[in-house]
């Protein structure tokens, strides 16, 4: 990938010029879908943007020492990591990237969760620490499935390049891996039935309890960019290859839109699970997926 392509991906599409408005749109669509399913009107279209601007205009609580500096740094690192993950998605142009960029994408996708864990423990709030502990347990639980699915897909296609994966035809193991990734997304995006770290009815806002003003605005933006990056990864893996780049971009956006709608419906239709139930669910999924992945790999090997 040359410098021009890298900058175009990071700054234009699917980078910041697309990802930031898409993040606000996805956040609005999530809230609106849940509201409609619950018989409410829901927020207006521009509400996530208005919330972001309002938070930027508020004061931040004064903090001193290293803890205060760290609390300011975590949301900025989370936003940068999520934006970098979006910029790695091989949407435009179809060719580019480098061997191993899938590993970099996974690392960037994990950084926001790690920052949330660190932020809660840095806040000095008991609610923040409880939320961070829940986030750590949840992250360990679903990441076993998430990483196993990604590695299985890459190993079955013999490449860790996102662009190469997007251009190769689908296989049974790849479709199985995509399904496993989708199962992990509610936990990764902190929505029902796995909204444990930020359970307002139990621990206020969890790791975000002590955040306000521009710092909280950055956390909201990071969350929206995670929506774009996570759904964009799935869209990249399942999107059909087309010759015209404009049509490919439309298919990418449509798939992301459909996935956000699906996850929002699931969130509205389910209640929050307990932490032990969540851990047991993902460990059972790990065992089931591992068995199916090995069976699919053996099937493809004998078939070839």
pLDDT number for residue 290: 79
Q: Copy the structure tokens of residue 141.
A: 């639980």
DSSP-based three-state secondary structure for 37: helix
DSSP-based three-state secondary structure for 230: helix
| CA torsion, ordered 113, 119, 124, 128, to nearest 10 deg | -40
Q: Are 90 and 131 contacting, i.e. CB atoms less than 8 angstroms apart?
A: no
DSSP-based three-state secondary structure for 16: helix
Block residue for tokens 């389910």:
270
- How many other CB atoms are there within 10 angstroms of residue 175's CB atom? 14
Q: Is the pTM of this model over 0.95?
A: no
Give how far the C-alpha of residue 262 lies from the chain's centroid of Cα atoms, to the nearest Å.
14
What tens-digit pLDDT sequence spans the chain (304 residues)?
566 776 777 778 887 889 999 999 999 999 999 899 888 899 999 999 999 999 999 888 788 788 888 999 999 999 999 999 998 888 765 556 678 889 999 999 999 999 999 999 988 888 888 889 889 999 999 998 898 888 888 888 888 888 888 888 877 788 888 999 999 999 999 888 888 777 665 656 778 888 989 999 999 999 999 999 999 999 999 987 776 777 888 999 999 999 999 999 998 888 888 888 888 889 888 878 878 877 776 676 666 5
pLDDT number for residue 46: 94
pLDDT number for residue 113: 94
Q: Are 230 and 185 contacting, i.e. CB atoms less than 8 angstroms apart?
A: yes
pLDDT number for residue 256: 94
Residue ranges covered by each domain of the chain: 3-303
Q: Among positive and negative, which fits the CA dihedral 47, 49, 52, 55?
A: negative
Q: For Cα atoms 183, 88, 166, give the angle at the middle one, nearest 5 degrees.
A: 65
Question: What are the φ/ψ torsions at residue 12 (nearest 5 degrees)?
Answer: -110, -75
Q: Copy the structure tokens of residue 184.
A: 């992990």
């Amino acid at each position: 990938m040359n410098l021009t392509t890298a900058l175009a991906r990071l700054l234009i599409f699917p980078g910041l010029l697309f990802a930031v408005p898409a993040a606000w749109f996805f956040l609005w669509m999530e809230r609106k879908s849940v509201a409609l399913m619950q018989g409410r009107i829901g927020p207006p279209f521009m509400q996530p943007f208005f919330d972001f601007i309002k938070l930027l205009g508020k004061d931040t609580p004064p903090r001193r020492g290293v803890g205060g500096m760290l609390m300011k740094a975590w949301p900025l690192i989370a936003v940068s990591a999520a934006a970098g993950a979006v910029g790695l998605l091989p949407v435009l142009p179809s060719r580019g990237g480098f061997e191993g960029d899938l590993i970099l994408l996974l690392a960037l996708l994990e950084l926001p969760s790690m920052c949330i864990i660190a932020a809660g423990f840095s806040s000095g709030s008991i609610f923040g620490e409880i939320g961070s502990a829940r986030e750590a347990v949840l992250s360990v639980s679903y990441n076993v499935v998430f990483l196993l699915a990604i590695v299985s897909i890459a190993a079955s296609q013999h490449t860790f390049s996102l662009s190469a994966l997007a251009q190769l035809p689908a296989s049974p193991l790849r479709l199985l891996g995509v399904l496993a990734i989708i199962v992990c997304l509610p936990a990764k995006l902190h929505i029902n039935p796995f909204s444990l770290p930020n359970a307002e009815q139990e621990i206020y806002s969890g790791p975000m309890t002590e955040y306000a003003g521009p710092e909280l605005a950055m956390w909201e933006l990071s969350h929206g960019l995670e929506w774009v990056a996570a759904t964009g990864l799935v869209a990249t893996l399942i999107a059909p290859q087309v010759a015209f780049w404009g049509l490919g971009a439309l298919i990418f956006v449509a798939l992301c839109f459909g996935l956000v709608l699906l996850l929002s419906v699931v969130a509205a239709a389910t209640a929050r699970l307990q932490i032990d139930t969540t851990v047991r669910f993902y460990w059972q999924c790990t065992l089931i997926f591992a068995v199916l992945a090995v069976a699919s790999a053996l099937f493809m090997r004998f078939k070839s």
